[in-house]
Amino acid sequence: MKGAYLRTCCAPRSLRFFLRCVLVFSSRGGTRRPAPKKRGFSGSPLHAWLASLAVKYAPRAPRKKPRPRVARDGSQTRPVASALLVFIAVGVIEQGCTRASGSDDAGKIHIVFKHRPLVGNASVFRERLADFRRAHPEVELTTEVLPNVADITHQYYFTALAARSRDIDVFVADIIWIHEFSRAGFLRDLSSEFPPADIKRDFIEGAADAVIADGRTFAVPLYIDVGLLYYRTDLVPQPPRTYDELEAFAKTAKYKDPSLSGYVWQARQYEGLICNGFESIWGHGGVTTQGDRVTLDTPEARAGLDFLRGLIVHGTSPASVTSAMEEESRRVFEQGRAVFMRNWPYAWTEMQKEESPVRGKVGVAPLPTITGDPGFSALGGGELVINAAAPESHLAASIDLVRTLTSLDANIAFAIANGQPPPRKAAYEDERLKTQAPFIASLEPVVVRARPRPVTAYYNMISDVMESEFSAIVTGIRTTPVAFGRAQMAIDRITQ
Amino acid sequence: MTRARSEDTRCYFFVLPAVIVIAAVAVYPMIPAVWISLRRVIVVFHEDHFVGLSNYAFLIHDPRFWTALGNTAYFVLVAVTIELLLGLGFALLLHTSFRGQKFFRVAILIPWAIPTVVSAKMWAWIWNPEYGLVSRLLPGSEMNWLGMPGYAMHAAILVDVWKTAPFVALLLLAGLETIPVDLYKAAIVDGASPLRIFFSITLPLLRPTIVVVLVFRTLDAFRVFDAVYVLTGGGPANTTETLSIYAYKMLMRAGDFGYGSTLAVVTFLCVMAISAIYIRLLGMPTRNIRI
């Protein structure tokens, strides 16, 4: 019987063939063109070292074999060919490094501003950037858009900043990252330009708390987000103030039209589920932090999550909420297929568009609570921060960019254009906002009551734990006592 | 005598380069991983101190670890079993001669040639509840495959089977080719039924190849990451979270290098244990193959 060896030696052979092709191709014609010189690099020690390596290790004609194989115009070309290969490699590496070196064309300061995709009317934001460019002819401003997924963006910044990347000057960070990033030393201390006392005086309390760590300012709020209850004015007599009312109204509406869903919200395993969960915990009278400790395993918290699970069990919410994010909920509600929806303010702008089937039939209210008081929304939002590793020469312009984008005027302009609540208190008293964006101005009571998720440097680690346990509860895999026991144990280990 | 001994030392000398390469590539990175697993390391906060076995002590009581281990074991068991049976079926079919045999031999390899991330993304679209192919083909109730616990894991298994059954078929086909035709001719002359031929000739002579396939696939499936991660990200409620995904989340997302390394080391130990069991139960695969 023959052996059944698996031949695995084909890889080196094909590699050799590939290299031969490259060598023959690059030395074709016999003319030895000098390798293109790379500006700013050819004189460096690294370049000299690589070139010497290329000469030293270039394949030579084998001496021991009687009849060496020779490239078409002689084996002499091989050192040149491999030097070319090295130059190509160096060119690629150099392309990847130019930005990191911070070299500026014609003495201009090159500022890189990274943000997530703009919502609403993006032209207003671009106008502000154009204003900045006009005011700073010495600055070359580049904007780069990152994916619209918070987790992926976080991972991007996390790895880039941990490697002390100088590629980023100013960027928009999520409200929940500030304490983590500042503790890690990623963010520049802005206390002298934006004193903590001023921030506390000018901005909504929750937004100010999120950007101040250890009495120092590390970020300036750009916009804020709050959870809201959307309801159909044609299906519901009045906005529900308690959870019982919400379930009862949904039931009545569903009785009249069985194809309707009652209450859509976000229960996919991601950060939005934590916001929904915390809002329900607060609505049931729960407190999620005691001093520095994040306390999850409390009777109120169990009641809060049991309520969310109950919504699905009783049929008030469709089972599909367990894989829904904001956009999935919005689509269902906007097509007129749901009575209630929990979502952020951006959804309002979408509902008011000409083609929206529910236009004029939507009302917005604070989230319900168990007692009937207005509910507490989870506070979200974006903050402008400056990379601590960015070159010192970029600082003045970077700070001015932050100032330009977070001024009261900018706050109001973005609120009107994008439908996101402004973080400055004064904006809500402004006539422009009241007349041009009355909806945003009307959110002030909700905004003031909004609560931040636990403010801790370990938030990202904790949220990973909470996501999975909350998801286990709402999908019915684990009961609240079991899931909260597991979560509390993991949280205590992280924050030990 | 002396000559034999010098040949012995020369053997070691020939093996040395391979040992050095393995030590540099495989053993060396393992040592720091074990060392880090004994520390609390959170690089971004500059936390780095020795904690002994406390990471391992936590792991014993960490329900998420046991869930991940259970998920991984279930994934391996179901996926490898189906792959082996399907692969064997494909191999037997392709081994018979028919028109277009070469075409089908190539065509069946296409899923194996597609990068795992791409095929996982493709399947994620196929299972999309709103505009996916599956929900189009199965009208009526809208099934949310990847969002429902229980279903999501089987969806992931299906992707893995779809991708690697051709690979199993290829290996088994190679094994089938080595079985001498004379044996079959003799069996037919003796009047053996096709079933009898399969169980008395094909299966016993294919056994060494099956062992190789089992070892390859089990160890590979135990470390599964990309297919599941792209498809579900470990959700819903971590019901599809495998050990590799848990370790990745700890290391890369949470930045907890200490506990992440602990998970990686334990995964490694599990894989070692599985290899040991296979070799003990089924014998060294290479010794059986080389005849």
Tens of pLDDT along B157-179? 999 999 999 999 999 999 999 99
Name the minimum distance, in Å, from the CA of B142 to any CA of chain A.
Answer: 9
Q: Containing H/E element for A222?
A: strand A220-226
Mean pLDDT of A417-443: 93
Pairing of strands A338-343, A228-232: antiparallel
Residues A155 and A180: their CA atoms lie apart, in Å, by 13
**pLDDT band at residue A13 under the 50/70/90 scheme:** very low
Classify residue B276: in a domain, yes or no: yes
For residue A6, the model assigns a pLDDT of 34
Tens of pLDDT along B220-276? 999 999 899 888 888 788 889 999 999 998 888 788 889 999 999 999 999 989 988
Do A389 and A490 belong to one domain?
no
Tens of pLDDT along B39-68? 998 877 788 889 989 999 999 998 889 999
Q: Chain A interface, mutation test: which of B21, B41, B49, B64, most A Cβ atoms within 10 Å?
A: B64
Classify residue B79: in a domain, yes or no: yes
Is the pLDDT at A70 greater than 50, yes or no? no
Do A240 and A302 belong to one domain?
yes
Judge whether A382 and A175 are in contact, CB under 8 Å.
Answer: yes
Do A241 and A342 belong to one domain?
yes
For residue B141, the model assigns a pLDDT of 60
Could you identify the residue written with the tokens 């858009």? A145
Give contacts of B178 with chain A, Cβ < 8 Å: 1-4
Q: For residue B225, how far is the Cα from the chain centroid?
A: 10
Classify residue B181: in a domain, yes or no: yes
Classify residue A51: in a domain, yes or no: no
Give contacts of A469 with chain B, Cβ < 8 Å: 237
Give contacts of A489 with chain B, Cβ < 8 Å: 61
Is the pLDDT at A95 greater than 70, yes or no? no
Instruction: Find the range with the poorest average confidence among A160-169, A180-189, B124-133.
Output: B124-133
Residues A297 and A465: their CA atoms lie apart, in Å, by 13
**pLDDT band at residue A15 under the 50/70/90 scheme:** very low
Mean pLDDT of A373-393: 94
For B252, name the nearest residue in chain A, comparing CA atoms only.
A155
Classify residue A17: in a domain, yes or no: no
The CATH number of the domain holding residue B185 is 1.10.3720.10
Instruction: Find the range with the poorest average confidence among A109-123, A187-201, B142-156.
Output: B142-156
Do A364 and A392 belong to one domain?
no
Do A433 and A367 belong to one domain?
no
Q: What percent of chain A has pLDDT over 70?
A: 79
H, E, C per residue of chain B: CHHHHHHHHHHHHHHHHHHHHHHHHHHHHHHHHHHHCCEEEEHHHCEEEECCCHHHHHHHCCHHHHHHHHHHHHHHHHHHHHHHHHHHHHHHHHHCCCCCHHHHHHHCCHHHHCCHHHHHHHHHHHCCCCCCHHHHHCCCCCCCHHHCCCHHHHHHHHHHHHHHHHHHHHHHHHHHHCCCHHHHHHHHHCCCCHHHHHHHHHHHHHHHHHHHHHHHHHHHHHCCCHHHHHHHCCCCCCCCCCHHHHHHHHHHHCCEHHHHHHHHHHHHHHHHHHHHHHHHHHCCHHHHHCC
Give contacts of B144 with chain A, Cβ < 8 Å: 319-320, 322-323
Classify residue B16: in a domain, yes or no: no
Do A330 and A394 belong to one domain?
no
Nearest to B254 among A319, A461, A478 (CB): A461
Residues B205 and B175: their CA atoms lie apart, in Å, by 8
Are the beta carbons of B147 and A158 separated by less than 8 Å? no
- Residue B218: domain span: 53-289
| Sign, CA torsion A52/A53/A59/A63 | positive
For residue A358, the model assigns a pLDDT of 92
Classify residue A153: in a domain, yes or no: yes
For residue B286, the model assigns a pLDDT of 52
- Residue A490: domain span: 228-376+458-494
Judge whether B239 and B149 are in contact, CB under 8 Å.
Answer: yes
Do A293 and A422 belong to one domain?
no
Q: Give the count of alpha carbons within 13 A of A469, CB side only.
A: 28
Do A330 and A475 belong to one domain?
yes
Judge whether B247 and B263 are in contact, CB under 8 Å.
Answer: yes
Are the beta carbons of A162 and B236 separated by less than 8 Å? no
Instruction: Show the tokens assigned to B259.
Output: 């506990």
**pLDDT band at residue A82 under the 50/70/90 scheme:** low
Classify residue A95: in a domain, yes or no: no
For residue A28, the model assigns a pLDDT of 40
For B44, name the nearest residue in chain A, comparing CA atoms only.
A184
Classify residue B93: in a domain, yes or no: yes
Do A298 and A339 belong to one domain?
yes
For residue A86, the model assigns a pLDDT of 55
Residues B164 and B31: their CA atoms lie apart, in Å, by 32
| Sign, CA torsion B97/B98/B102/B105 | negative
Do A296 and A240 belong to one domain?
yes
Are the beta carbons of B249 and A464 separated by less than 8 Å? yes
Classify residue B31: in a domain, yes or no: no
Instruction: Find the range with the poorest average confidence among A100-104, A370-374, B197-201.
Output: A100-104
How many distinct structural domains can be found in chain B?
1
Name the minimum distance, in Å, from the CA of A332 to any CA of chain B.
Answer: 11
Is the model more confident about A313 or about B236?
A313
| Sign, CA torsion B50/B56/B59/B65 | positive
CB atoms within 10 A of CB B153: 20
Residues A487 and A467: their CA atoms lie apart, in Å, by 9
Interface of A with B in 8-47 (CB under 8 A): none
Is the pLDDT at A144 greater than 60, yes or no? yes
Tens of pLDDT along A152-172? 888 889 889 988 999 899 999
Q: For residue B111, how far is the Cα from the chain centroid?
A: 16
Cβ contacts from A onto B, under 8 A: 98
For A270, name the nearest residue in chain B, comparing CA atoms only.
B235
Give contacts of A461 with chain B, Cβ < 8 Å: 254-256
Name the minimum distance, in Å, from the CA of A270 to any CA of chain B.
Answer: 9
**Nearest to residue A223, comparing CAs of A351, A350, A128?**
A128
Instruction: Show the tokens assigned to A336.
Output: 């007129």
How many distinct structural domains can be found in chain A?
2
Do A154 and A269 belong to one domain?
no
Residues 6+ apart with CB under 8 A from A477: B149, B237, B239
Tens of pLDDT along A321-356? 888 888 889 989 999 999 999 999 989 988 988 889
For A159, name the nearest residue in chain B, comparing CA atoms only.
B252
Q: For residue A47, how far is the Cα from the chain centroid?
A: 38
Instruction: Find the range with the poorest average confidence among A317-321, B180-184, B199-203, B284-288.
Output: B284-288
Is the pLDDT at A439 greater than 90, yes or no? yes
Tens of pLDDT along A248-307? 999 999 999 988 999 999 998 888 999 999 999 999 999 888 877 888 899 999 999 999
Name the minimum distance, in Å, from the CA of B1 to any CA of chain A.
Answer: 31
Judge whether A343 and A228 are in contact, CB under 8 Å.
Answer: yes
Is the pLDDT at A460 greater than 90, yes or no? no
Classify residue A269: in a domain, yes or no: yes
Interface residue A156 vs chain B (CB under 8 A): no
SS3 A9: coil
Could you identify the residue written with the tokens 């101040």? A212
For residue A473, the model assigns a pLDDT of 94
**pLDDT band at residue A457 under the 50/70/90 scheme:** confident
Are the beta carbons of B237 and A3 separated by less than 8 Å? no
Instruction: Show the tokens assigned to B202.
Output: 């094909």
**pLDDT band at residue A485 under the 50/70/90 scheme:** very high
Do A366 and A427 belong to one domain?
no
Instruction: Find the range with the poorest average confidence among A163-167, A234-238, B93-97, B130-134.
Output: B130-134
Nearest to A155 among B146, B178, B253 (CB): B253
For residue B259, the model assigns a pLDDT of 93
Interface residue A1 vs chain B (CB under 8 A): yes
The length of chain A in residues reads: 496
Instruction: Show the tokens assigned to B32.
Output: 């720091």
Could you identify the residue written with the tokens 């690294």? A46
Classify residue B143: in a domain, yes or no: yes
The CATH number of the domain holding residue A482 is 3.40.190.10
Helix (H), strand (E) counts: chain A: 20, 13
Q: DSSP state, A225?
A: E
Are the beta carbons of A490 and B62 separated by less than 8 Å? yes
Give contacts of B65 with chain A, Cβ < 8 Å: none
Give contacts of A493 with chain B, Cβ < 8 Å: 58
Residues B107 and A81: their CA atoms lie apart, in Å, by 39
Rg from Cα positions in chain B: 24
Classify residue A398: in a domain, yes or no: yes
For residue B36, the model assigns a pLDDT of 93
Residues A422 and A417: their CA atoms lie apart, in Å, by 11
Are the beta carbons of B44 and A184 separated by less than 8 Å? yes
**pLDDT band at residue A18 under the 50/70/90 scheme:** very low
Nearest to A4 among B147, B148, B178 (CB): B178
Classify residue B22: in a domain, yes or no: no
